[in-house]
Amino acid sequence: MLKKFILLLLFVFQFTNAQSDLSTPVKIPFTVTGAGHIMIKATVNGTEGNFIFDTGAGLNLVTKKFADKVNLTKTQSFYTGHRATGEALEVDLYDIKSLQLAAFTDNNQQTAVLDIDFPLDGLISLMPFKNNAITIDYTTKNLIIENGASLKKLVKKNNALPIQISEDGERTLSISTKVKLNSKLTLQVGLDSGAGANIFRFNSRYIETLGLDKSKLETKYVKSDFNPEHGNNFYRANLTELATINNTASVKEIPVTFIEGLIYEGIVCTNWLGDKITIDVKGKRILVN
């Protein structure tokens, strides 16, 4: 159910916030689900819940069931986002009085509310960390909100992977980077921790470019959970290698999915980049240990 829900929410929207430098880094413990999703605890307007940390969601999101328990303030604004498979989703926007993650508090966040059956309470996007670099440490299972001093140390010790930042009127935020497939095709792909572990999805237009025979690939038609009349063909294949454009990270012999109608060149998980990575939105880079 959890994996299905994350696939359901492959659309991007988000907001701005303003943070001053922290006196010390803040650690947020997380657990990893069976599918590789990063689950954290967060307190929204004084009510604690369980959330997925999702760098690909863009917008903070809570379920209607959780929203009914907290005092969210509905705004006059809305946002129309798109699932990665092309469907539009229109959501109303709500102000959050206080979002707390461990010792980190942000009083300038917004969220969408979605009425859907979901085992957790929603998604925490990158927006609370737009002005503070955040480290995903898969070894110790901590998210670490860095301060200026700790970030400087990481810069000295780690390799930097350039990332691209996409924003829509200061309401959306997403990150992407350039990768090479089989050492022959360069694509710009979204970096999505919410996809789970070892997930690699690409637009089906690149099947022939990579020298693959579409007729020989395992194919599955997947109907939309929102609109039964909408669906996409998924093609399963294997690639020899996926590497970042500057060879900071690479992975070999990987199963991938090509999707007809994907609105991006590709979407990939974050765990393949390294056991410890630091997303620095302001610096437009990911530091790879």
What pLDDT is attached to residue 18?
A: 39
What pLDDT is attached to residue 289?
A: 82
d(CA 129, CA 53): 11
Question: Which amino acid belongs to residue 209?
Answer: T
Nearest CA to 257 out of 217, 223, 225, 227 is that of 217
Question: Which amino acid belongs to residue 94?
Answer: Y
pTM of the entire predicted model: 0.91
Whether the CA torsion 221, 226, 228, 229 is positive or negative: it is negative
Task: Say which CATH topology domain 2-159 has.
Answer: Cathepsin D, subunit A; domain 1 (2.40.70)
- Contact (CB, 8 A) for 164 and 188: yes
Instruction: Spell out the domain ranges in the chain.
Output: 2-159, 174-272
d(CA 30, CA 38): 6
Q: In a 10 Å sphere around its CB, with 0-12 CB exposed, 13-18 middle and 19+ buried, how is residue 24 labelled?
A: exposed
Tokens of 74: 């509905």
d(CA 53, CA 124): 5
CATH of 174-272, one of 2.40.10.10, 3.30.470.10, 2.40.70.10, 3.30.420.40: 2.40.70.10
Tens digit of pLDDT at every position of the chain (289 positions): 555 545 445 443 433 333 457 999 999 999 999 999 999 999 999 999 999 999 999 899 999 999 999 999 999 999 888 888 888 889 999 999 999 999 999 998 999 999 988 899 999 999 999 999 999 999 999 999 999 999 999 999 999 999 999 887 777 789 999 999 999 999 999 999 999 999 999 999 999 999 999 999 999 999 877 677 789 999 999 999 999 999 999 999 999 999 999 999 999 999 999 999 999 999 999 999 8
User: Helix/strand/coil (H, E, C) string of the chain?
Assistant: CHHHHHHHCCECCCCCCCCCCCCCCEEEECEECCCCCEEEEEEECCEEEEEEECCCCCCCEEEHHHHCCCCCEEEEEEEEEEECCCCEEEEEEEEECCEEECCEEECCEEEEEECCCCCCCEEECCHHHCCCCEEEECCCCEEEECCHHHHHHHHHHCEEEECEEEECCCCCEEEEEEEEECCCEEEEEEECHHHCCCCEEEECCHHHHCCCCHHHCEEEEEECCCCCCCEEEEEEEEEEEEEECCCCCEEEEEEEEEECCCCCCEEECCHHHCCEEEEECCCCEEEEC
Q: Evaluate whether 2-159 and 174-272 have a shared fold.
A: yes
What pLDDT is attached to residue 2?
A: 53
- Contact (CB, 8 A) for 88 and 78: no
